Chains A and B, each alone.
Chain A
Amino acid sequence: MQFQLTDEQRALRDTVRSYLRDRFGPKQVRELYDDDRSDGIPPALWQALGEQGWLAVLVPEQYDGLGLGLLDAAVLAREMGAGTVPGPWLGTVLVAEALRLAGSADQQAAHLPQLAAGEVKGAVALLKPGSSPTPAGAPATARDGRLSGRLDFVEYACSADLLVVASDDGLFLVDPRGAGVTCTAQEALDRTTRLGSVTLDGVPGERLEGSTPELVQDLLDRAAVLVANDLVGIARKALTDTVDYDKTRVQFGRPVGSFQAVKHALADLHVGVSFAEHAATYAAHAADVDAADRQLAASVAKSKAADVCRDATGAMIQYHGGIGYTWEHDAHFSFKRSKRLEPAYGDAAQHRERIAGLVIDAAPVASTG
């Protein structure tokens, strides 16, 4: 029984963590927040993601990738969350995953090496805003290979080189600069991302032939698991920063962290964040080994991570006092990123409803253990 990261995974985590600490810390995040003209993709950061192989984790080795698993990608996602890192990492990874899972050999050969190297930036539109995380939530319709629909809140849509769009006929590759595609930037509260609204008006798309509903569901689950890991990264960092601050902030002649009202809240958060970390880790592993309970695990992870990150980032503001409510303090980076990711690929309630569908409505499923 080894419920822990491997030495290699820990080394990967440490490398990403130290890179971000040294090269892309809170100061750089803040520059992005204060720069109205930025496209939200700091060039040096993006270049490093490509060079370090951090876009290539899930891409098979034959396409210049690292051929690793979702748990390895989850390790990265967690550090991205902790560092409130900007850029289309997730969109690019998910486009590559869609191609890996459902694309033809030609499609894979045409795109995967460039995606792995960061030469091509990806964006995905898999769900209508507010939809439950199932293939039925696809935002586009396909008629004779032509796609139509409005895709809202698509991360980095306007800077993407390649789009993957879910439709009522599965997944399609779309050239975002092709005829019939218009992209309008949407202002985002979380300035570590950029959102766009894409309108497709009978746009020719390239269908990913393997994209059955089961496979689209798998892709949605993988997206949810990566987001869950990002969320637990945010949550742990928010809690750690808050604990550190409350150890030193003095009121009534003593550190505020010595008051039980504060202690108990932070202790409960530690319990919750620990649970969410376990769940986000297991869900990634369950996908990698195709465990019988992988869908349940994905929904457990996403719902728990969303709830806990909401609590932790809210507590970060509260237990910093007034300074936590200011633009100057970093608390709002975490809070706003959490608000973006809590509903992404199904919010906590939607995932609980999915769990009910999986376990309460179906015959009891034996879980592992």
Chain B
Amino acid sequence: MDLRHSEQDEQFRAEFRAWLDANLPQEMREPAFWADLTDDEAFEARRSWEAGKARAGFAGIQWPTEYGGRGGTPTMKAIYDEEMALANAPATVNALGLAFLGPTVMALGTEQQKKSIIAPLLNCETIWCQGFSEPGAGSDLAALQMRAEPQGEDYLLNGQKIWTTNAMHGDRIFVLARTSPPDGGKRHAGISMLLVDMHQSGVEARPLKQMTGESEFGEVFFTDATCPNSEVLGGEGNGWATAMLLLSYERGASAIAQYTEYHRQWEQVVAIARELDRDGRPASADPVLRQQLAGALVELECLKYHSWHVLTATAQGKDLGYEASMTKIMWSETFRRVSDAYEAVLGTAFQVPGLSTGRSLRELTALAMWSRSCTIWGGSQQVQRNVVAERVLGLPR
């Protein structure tokens, strides 16, 4: 047992922290700054800051240097995530590209694809969307209906994708589409992953308004859209295997960033509990709320220990495999626990945008609602439980 990082890793932390100190303006760390901007303005501000970070060499931490990455260790990536969260730095605008597409292209892409995709992804010239879910294919992804018919050098795409993060800001989208009909009972056959340009007349993105009032996701409609057949990733008909590989890149995620973010959320909830009156004393003195707040902290601390467990394994080159589903359950449930405590502490005040003390509740209330989405996207909690039960515990299908 030794929880210290190596000197090299700590040196990286110092370097990155110093860069953040110098290059992340204080105002950008405050929720108020972002609240005053429109969706588009906020997105562009994040994109340009992130591009500067990439130019400084703090992007693609674990990616090989030949592809413009930093060639760092899994520990450095975790430190990077932690420092970003500690600094309250803006979240990446290219999450799906960075987490999923980039590693898949490096593993399966043609040389031409690697050249054309990786660098613009890292410096945020190309914002990537993921086109997996459809109105009739959510948890049951293989039920997808979108068609891509070969036509000369191109595919002709028709269909609809939904819950597409960054739909309104995306430049390209990696979509799963049927390039041939299902082969009898083999639903996974005949699916391909296509890299499609969103800036064409056959592609129309429409925002979906979320329960928070924001529109960070949307729908994407394809009507005779085209995609050159050189832009298949992983080979025609191999889309299912490509998608499974792509999703497996989530496995190395250690959840330290989530811990850091939700721990800050918890501290803010405690600060509010100290300010709010309940029965003539601070809400933080209420025995039931204390149990709830402390219970949420117990989960948070356990999440931190789990992130160390994941980091220990990945640093040794181990693949935690389907344990990733467990990590997803852990962080999303912990996030819910903290959010539940927030709602309980506020009581009726959950309804209003701010307290009489002048404290704004907008960011925290949006976070609490966001926690409701995290147990759905990326594989719902119910799907994850099936995975843990079948793949980790070995229970029969």
Q: Which residue, A258, A296, A303, A355, has most C-beta atoms of chain B within 10 A?
A: A355
Q: A270-B393, A304-B298 are in contact. Are A4 and B1 (CB under 8 A)?
A: yes
Counting residue pairs across A and B whose Cβ atoms lie within 8 Å, the total is 156
In the complex, chain A residues 1-39 whose Cβ is within 8 Å of any chain B Cβ: 1-6
**A243, B298: Cβ atoms closer than 8 Å:** no
Q: A71-B1, A270-B388, A353-B291 are in contact. Are A246 and B395 (CB under 8 A)?
A: yes
Question: Which of A142-150, A154-162, A272-280 forms part of the interface with chain B?
Answer: A272-280
Distance of A9 from chain B, by nearest CB (Å): 8
Distance of A225 from chain B, by nearest CB (Å): 14
**B393, A266: Cβ atoms closer than 8 Å:** yes
Q: Report Cα–Cα, A304/B299, bound state, in Å.
A: 8
Q: Give A328-369 as 1s and 0s: 1 = Cβ < 8 Å from B's Cβ atoms.
A: 000000000000000000000100110110011100100111
Q: Give B303-323 as 1s and 0s: 1 = Cβ < 8 Å from A's Cβ atoms.
A: 111111101100100000000
Q: Is B329 an interface residue (CB 8 A)?
A: yes
Q: Is A281 an interface residue (CB 8 A)?
A: yes
Q: Is B273 an interface residue (CB 8 A)?
A: yes
**B4, A1: Cβ atoms closer than 8 Å:** yes
Interface residues on B, range: 35 or more
Q: Which residue, A71, A275, A304, has most C-beta atoms of chain B within 10 A?
A: A275
Distance of A320 from chain B, by nearest CB (Å): 15
**A304, B302: Cβ atoms closer than 8 Å:** yes
In the complex, chain B residues 260-299 whose Cβ is within 8 Å of any chain A Cβ: 260, 263, 267, 270, 273-274, 284, 287, 290-291, 293-295, 297-299
Q: Report Cα–Cα, A282/B388, bound state, in Å.
A: 24
**B284, A278: Cβ atoms closer than 8 Å:** no
Q: Is B385 an interface residue (CB 8 A)?
A: yes
Select B309's contact among A278, A364, A367, A368, beta carbons within 8 Å: A278
Distance of B341 from chain A, by nearest CB (Å): 11
Select A267's contact among B75, B301, B309, B393, beta carbons within 8 Å: B393
Residues of chain B having any CB pair with chain A under 8 Å:
1-5, 75, 82, 256, 259-260, 263, 267, 270, 273-274, 284, 287, 290-291, 293-295, 297-299, 301-309, 311-312, 315, 326, 329-330, 333, 382, 384-386, 388-390, 392-397
Residues of chain A having any CB pair with chain B under 8 Å:
1-6, 71, 243, 246-247, 254-255, 257-258, 260, 262-264, 266-268, 270-271, 274-276, 278-279, 281-282, 285, 288, 296-297, 300, 303-304, 349, 352-353, 355-356, 359-361, 364, 367-369
